[in-house]
Structure 1
């Protein structure tokens, strides 16, 4: 039923601080209906919405649906006893609105994801492959380093089993993989990215991180350099994850969560078999900061 992650929304006490941070990250921001919204350059789709509030809090998550599944979603919600709710203040009114088992508002949009901006193929000379002949990579590598699309988001939850059941059995996502039982659960929407959503077990609900695709590992490193040059905390990275296999770099945001650059994520198919893995989060690179899994949202 769910086809992709459309956007996420947070409440924050200072939208000007959020505006500056998101612009440094490379997103295009604007004021809309009293909220701060952000898009990826070249993609006409809201990816982030920030609303003013007394403290940082996850406000809602928004997903697109596969064509002709809206009625089926409505019926699945009714069977599960999930309420249909009015759109929360400061949000778009289209689509269905419900709440997940943690009480987070969920928007379900009967629409197709906007295409991300096209990028040039990254030619490599690695292993047995010799694709880049007669060209100097360094002369072109800085041309496209901005985020292309919102790839995924992970939430904190005190009840990962119930949340997984709701998003899979009711809304149609699938489990991709787990780490250490239900410490971390990754969910996919069918063939495509290894995960578009997921959960980290915690004492209470919250927002852990969002992740944006860039064209290459070079774009990740250059983006991290840009954040560092603008006085942002250097965060965690560069590295390659185990689960998902993507290159990554995370920057902490000013409100206690994380934002990630990623590239080269595993693509799954209908034959993918989910595993439960006892592995660290990174294949190589420095270990994560001790604060990486800290849930700083108020209870």
Structure 2
């Protein structure tokens, strides 16, 4: 299974797309029915969909999988009693599958028989999404739920998050212990550390500085730099997330502690806690469909 894309609704989608292509570094894939699709350099047809809307919310987060894995998901979702519906994708890449609503409203779409595209050149383009993180009122319960219903695996637990994987990557999603449910941030996988640092420099050229970073996380060990996007959400340059084996032992919060005054492995940058907290609350989840038998 692979994390492919996230689909957002928001005001002034064209302005957001202009920032993401002209400054952040993405490429325009196509526009369909007032929805703008943006891609990276890799083989996914798009990474981010922006639909025009009077207000901002998360429409779905999309994973691709095999037909056999999709069947397993249907059984797991039905057994857990989660709201879900069959779907046929009208987005680039096509495919068919299901959309599932988790206990706190998170909307995950799983598609099989999707198509991919030829990669494109661009040293400063994101390659793909590396993870999507959600805020949660009860991150532990959500982690347990996705293990039981979706077959995901909890990789690590910290004081702040429950990290979850769906393949060998340490985490494709995570659930932050925030006390409310919303989009926490979107992380874009860059080709290497130099691409992350060039991205930071590019945003500085446009008057934007990291809300946190550069740094290197503990769980996943990925290099990061977080920014508060002009159109609302928190977005991250990331690279080199750890690959873990099937028998990887999940860490507990006491396994991930830092010396006083540090909040990552490097300890070289400050964090805009208040600004990030406000941005992380802006995009809530909104279901646009009615549950139906799978």
- Normalised by the size of structure 1, how large is the TM-score? 0.81
Structure-to-structure mapping, 1:1-299, within 5 angstroms: 3-23=1-21, 24-29=23-28, 30-85=30-85, 94-111=96-113, 114=116, 117=119, 144-180=123-159, 183-191=160-168, 193-278=169-254, 279-280=257-258, 281-284=263-266, 285-291=268-274, 292-294=276-278, 295-297=280-282
Between Structure 1 and Structure 2, the one with more helix by share is 2
Post-superposition CA distance 1:247-274 (Å, at most 9, x none): 1111211233211111222110112100
Match of 1:270, SS state, is: coil
User: CA, structure 1 residues 272+118, in 2 after alignment: closer, same or farther (shift >3 Å)?
Assistant: farther
1:235 Cα offset (Å): 3.0
User: CA, structure 1 residues 78+34, in 2 after alignment: closer, same or farther (shift >3 Å)?
Assistant: same
Rg larger for: 1
User: CA, structure 1 residues 66+162, in 2 after alignment: closer, same or farther (shift >3 Å)?
Assistant: farther
2: CA distance between counterparts of 1:227 and 1:246? Answer: 20
- List gaps (5 residues or longer) in structure 2: 285-294
RMSD: 2.7
- List gaps (5 residues or longer) in structure 1: 120-142
- Normalised by the size of structure 2, how large is the TM-score? 0.83
User: CA, structure 1 residues 264+42, in 2 after alignment: closer, same or farther (shift >3 Å)?
Assistant: closer
- Contact kept in structure 2, 1:33 and 1:90, CA below 8 Å: no
- Matched residues, number: 271
1: CA distance between counterparts of 2:69 and 2:89? Answer: 26
User: CA, structure 1 residues 206+89, in 2 after alignment: closer, same or farther (shift >3 Å)?
Assistant: farther
